[in-house]
Structure 1
């Protein structure tokens, strides 16, 4: 949540063992800045996020990317920006208004930061609109996909559309007048609306009305086949606008314009140990709908009279008004991106089953427990199948009569989740099943509440974690009785959610292991999450909020020591976001000691590479593409015996201080080599990526000096995984 980013409470950084001797004899004061680092050594967090969304937009602008994928990137940009305003900008505004401290790491007043955000976001939204109108829409026309205007329609089209309006749209519409008897209506967040000014011809009185464009109807209305072979669409708001006379009969339509309001939709729960968390959350979700407006988008032809009314009634400032070309809300382009035009999309990729998890004989049912018992298995989604690995693991556990218990964390899952169904099947079969459901997962709260109740009805023990902490870790533990009577642990620790749908588009890693130490560590952790234990010993895990930051700082400190002693050193990190100042300062000190530091970050990065005397040895890259890079990896050379961790944590205050996060250490040499190869590819000058410059701008490098396309990292990994399966692996 946005406020969590500004907190630096370290009350959970207490003493305790982790990773065997990984933290032994470490002086924690090494994480404190000694005053040698430059004051202006952090980029602004919010502007860094906007630069990330700019990189998404650059993909939409790239003519070498399949057309409907570019449409999809346009929609993603719009959806991303909506959430940014609903959460980050809303939180910043609220703290300014209420007088709460809003420290900035770049020495500027919060109001100045907010002004920069609004200015940059408006520039990007104009660029976004131009990309649609000037680049993508003409290419859609060339491809036979026409988004028409009303003026483009001939008489036959209009007759057909009139019938569509009368039968399917008119009955759903609800025009709302604004006058002394009808107060200004509530405008729901992210809804698309029409402002309408009408005049009564008898009294000459001018009135205002608001008309909501129904979200239950398709945004792009298909037009009838005119024999041209084209797929033609009309935006719903355009169709409605040209039938306003039917909604206001007898009135003269003077003006109509589109507008859209973004509200503060972040949920804040004051957790009280005496109160039912679900009830508190449900109450807050109802309140979310009525959050204060923080952005007003209007079409650039809106008259001043209408705008003045909206600004006054909504309590919006001039700085928060965004004038844009129609159509507003290009997130609706998701509908167009889903058209069945395979030649306008990325070539289809079918995930493969990891080699170790394949059946021993054709058409046989694989025994995942036997496979995991032989050796650790590292899976790489979406290149390797979630369905035949993670999902199959839990489904086999549910039906195996020798499985006694299943323990699972659920942060986000899909609406028809086979993972949840497997847990229900296991409980109904009499197994002990514990599900830790994080009902505070933003924008999935209601969905998770419903799943929690369904699980409880099936006999699953459902818990909601610890007061004040989100449970963000991705863990599954199966306890099985083997033929010799001994109990054996089978564990899965991942970087991504147990969600079959997002597993097809999110890049993630997951480790299956039968290592008894990992099983014991997870057993202790689940006991802490469901009971009252305070665990202080984990052998192969790093667990936040107590030990994770401390463990990573210890790893960085070890590399600094190695470099100063002239030994091999190196740090490689792959995350979604890098914001935490303690981690960043430690990386600066590592750079100053001569440690080469490579960072792959998808989104926010407030570290500044290439600063003389601070980050000369740090390189930062960002990879965006077909899949959303989501895995978190932390690699330390450790004197030639690498320590490599994967898990759920980004380098942000919320992850390190106010969430339950888990990293697990990889030990198999094959897995270490696989991770090394991934970093080599991401950092290679021959791989398409963005490089972060010292001025905070990201430079895209996707062509060589001769104009030839550089290698696409995700395509290379896809080919490598498929080839590895075909050749029988490297073992």
Structure 2
């Protein structure tokens, strides 16, 4: 009997035996320089975000939002990727990168590219977005632009709302240089003591809990705002009475804030993580941002006291920390935002005229595929778990939680279910980067409510998005399953593009039951029927599908491979795609972020097309589609093509079985890869080129707008019937 995992892959036992040998023998045909550097590729992704901010066809406040996203992305890149690279160099554990370069050389490349991008980012604000906002009636002004009345009112605001929370810290023989927290915005101030005539230095932290852009009160006409640090800088005399303020400059420090946890079976993971989160605040400096007018005396002091190199100093011709534009972008000016979109309820979950929606009944009829944020998370995933918590026939709920919101109705449903006597298992990934503290809070709240909380397997992050409901129906237990590509987070579900599959298929139900049992107990070793699961089987399962397409192409049969991911880095997967391309398989890769796969290798990538799409929503779903000689095999799930996802995380892909859902996913891919759709094309030397207009200058189709319209039309068509 053929193992189901092999049957799904299209390879029989004999073919599988020589699979690894076949792959290694073909590697000799591949060139050595066949990958793009992953860190530089990430920077080109953030450049694509910046290009949206530079696009004058987009609404002005959305462009400001993209500037803030760029800034936030770059902060995380330094805190995690650059910090990790530096740590490995310092500890002597550095190994050559995926392109064979020394990490120290890559740091130099990163510095050069990041400097150029930050300068371009500053120019986009000062020369493009700020003037556009001003032309639309939203002005960001300087103190000297204001008249006496406005200055007086802002001074009153400063005295009542800002001055009481400021904490100037002097630096002198009695006061050592203060600790500068990561990502804080600060003023470096030089003052002269009027009594002694001696120059002193002081540091003032801009309070992060106050609005970054302060509205100028009492004016007619355009809305005007002043940056908080500008307001503070013009009231320094109030902070240093009897002193002469000589100069002041803004600066901002980025620290290594990546969490490193060493696990063993006896370690209390929660306690270890809490301790590490405290240490995170004191990580070593990795980037110093300063304004371009900072004098050498102040800069030399900062470099010396912070123990930072010249390469890590970023001198910028504009305001620092443009994450503050998130606040500005929330101004209520509908004409300066994208047209609002209200998610629709998935057709299968739409109740009749006089009925209440029964989620379980809908799933029993057929598998249900939902597409967020075009289709509502609240009336699908939330409703599924809410109904499960209230339903007396439901005996058990099992769910993974990677990232969720602070007021999550998902967590509340699990608590309600446990308090009503149901068996509830929550697998909480407390190591979800930058959400660790949130998840610790929710883990403890769940435990107090009687939920069985587990933290997954030692050494592995649990990243899969799974929910399983066990319901008793006429004396029989039925499994209702949800496998998603995104987190169980109602807030991000409004801006992250994701798919989710609901099914009552007993094969999926048994797969999830076994997987949850293994996650709460022992290591993952079993094979599954409709799932591909990392770390043991997912990479090899995908490589088998890729190899099957290669063999079909060599045999003259139709073939194709289509992959949509956030990141494409794993060398084995990339090499598999290269081999398939060399055999004549059309390979389409749709990637949002990092892409180490090249598209410019003659004779190797001739059949590979790589596209990237960014827009109002964050493309987040993962899709894997294989032609399979006319019987398409399509998977969705949580895994990106990165080492961490395939080797150090628990990930799950589910095979989509309903032909209508397969057709929907393939049509979505058709639209994305169409030359008539706006996208970035990967070309020579890893360069991405945006294609947004046709030869006549008309705008190309926006994938997200078109998808929104298609789903709304589908709903209207049903209403007419």
TM-score normalised by the shorter chain: which range applies? over 0.9
Q: Does 1:187 align with 2:177?
A: no
Q: CA deviation at 1:19?
A: 6.8
**Residue number in structure 2 paired with 1:232:** 224
Q: CA deviation at 1:34?
A: 2.6
2:148 to 138, 144, 155: 155
Q: Does 1:396 align with 2:361?
A: no
Q: Which residues in structure 2 correspond to 1:467-506 (within 5 Å)?
A: 467-482=458-473, 484-506=474-496
**Residue number in structure 1 paired with 2:570:** 580
Q: Which runs of 5+ in 1 are unaligned?
A: 1-14
Note if contact 2:600-2:685 (Cα within 8 Å) is conserved in structure 1. Answer: no
2 CA distance for matches of 1:603 and 1:18?
A: 30
Please give the secondary structure, in 2, of the residue aligned with 1:695: helix
2 CA distance for matches of 1:533 and 1:685?
A: 45
> Residues 701-720 of structure 1, C-alpha deviation per residue, up to 9 Å, x if partnerless?
00011111000000111111
Note if contact 1:524-1:535 (Cα within 8 Å) is conserved in structure 2. Answer: no
Note if contact 2:27-2:575 (Cα within 8 Å) is conserved in structure 1. Answer: no
**Residue number in structure 2 paired with 1:7:** none
Q: CA deviation at 1:107?
A: 3.1
2 CA distance for matches of 1:691 and 1:85?
A: 26
Q: Which runs of 5+ in 2 are unaligned?
A: none
1 CA distance for matches of 2:625 and 2:423?
A: 36
Aligned length, in residue pairs: 714
**Residue number in structure 2 paired with 1:279:** 271
2 CA distance for matches of 1:103 and 1:646?
A: 33
Note if contact 2:525-2:536 (Cα within 8 Å) is conserved in structure 1. Answer: no
**Residue number in structure 1 paired with 2:113:** 120
Note if contact 1:19-1:540 (Cα within 8 Å) is conserved in structure 2. Answer: no
**Residue number in structure 1 paired with 2:234:** 242
> Residues 607-665 of structure 1, C-alpha deviation per residue, up to 9 Å, x if partnerless?
00131021110000000001000000000001110110000000000000000000000
Residues 723 and 504 (structure 1), Cα distance of their counterparts in 2 relative to 1, 3 Å cut: same
Note if contact 2:169-2:204 (Cα within 8 Å) is conserved in structure 1. Answer: yes
* Greater alpha carbon shift after TM alignment, 603-612 vs 488-497: 603-612
2:708 to 715, 718, 727: 718
Note if contact 1:263-1:293 (Cα within 8 Å) is conserved in structure 2. Answer: yes
2 CA distance for matches of 1:31 and 1:450?
A: 46
1 CA distance for matches of 2:611 and 2:179?
A: 44
**Residue number in structure 2 paired with 1:386:** 377
* Greater alpha carbon shift after TM alignment, 693-702 vs 469-478: 693-702
Please give the secondary structure, in 2, of the residue aligned with 1:537: coil
Please give the secondary structure, in 2, of the residue aligned with 1:35: helix
2 CA distance for matches of 1:729 and 1:362?
A: 11
Structure 1's consecutive aligned runs of 4 or more residues displaced over 6 angstroms after TM superposition are: none
2 CA distance for matches of 1:288 and 1:87?
A: 11
**Residue number in structure 2 paired with 1:511:** 501
Q: Which residues in structure 2 correspond to 1:91-130 (within 5 Å)?
A: 91-130=84-123
Q: CA deviation at 1:325?
A: 1.9
**Residue number in structure 1 paired with 2:673:** 683
Please give the secondary structure, in 1, of the residue aligned with 2:662: helix
Q: CA deviation at 1:232?
A: 1.1
Note if contact 1:505-1:626 (Cα within 8 Å) is conserved in structure 2. Answer: yes
Task: Please report the RMSD computed on the Cα atoms of aligned residues, expressed in angstroms.
Answer: 1.4
2 CA distance for matches of 1:537 and 1:134?
A: 57
Note if contact 1:19-1:541 (Cα within 8 Å) is conserved in structure 2. Answer: no
Please give the secondary structure, in 1, of the residue aligned with 2:427: strand
Please give the secondary structure, in 2, of the residue aligned with 1:41: coil
1:539 to 515, 523, 529: 529
Q: Does 1:597 align with 2:593?
A: no
Q: TM-score, normalised to structure 2's length?
A: 0.98
Q: Does 1:169 align with 2:156?
A: no
1:452 to 427, 431, 443: 443
2 CA distance for matches of 1:475 and 1:453?
A: 21
Q: Does 1:36 align with 2:29?
A: yes
Q: Does 1:368 align with 2:359?
A: yes
2 CA distance for matches of 1:712 and 1:315?
A: 47
Please give the secondary structure, in 1, of the residue aligned with 2:510: helix
Higher relative contact order (Cα pairs below 8 Å, separated by 6+ residues): 1
**Residue number in structure 2 paired with 1:355:** 347
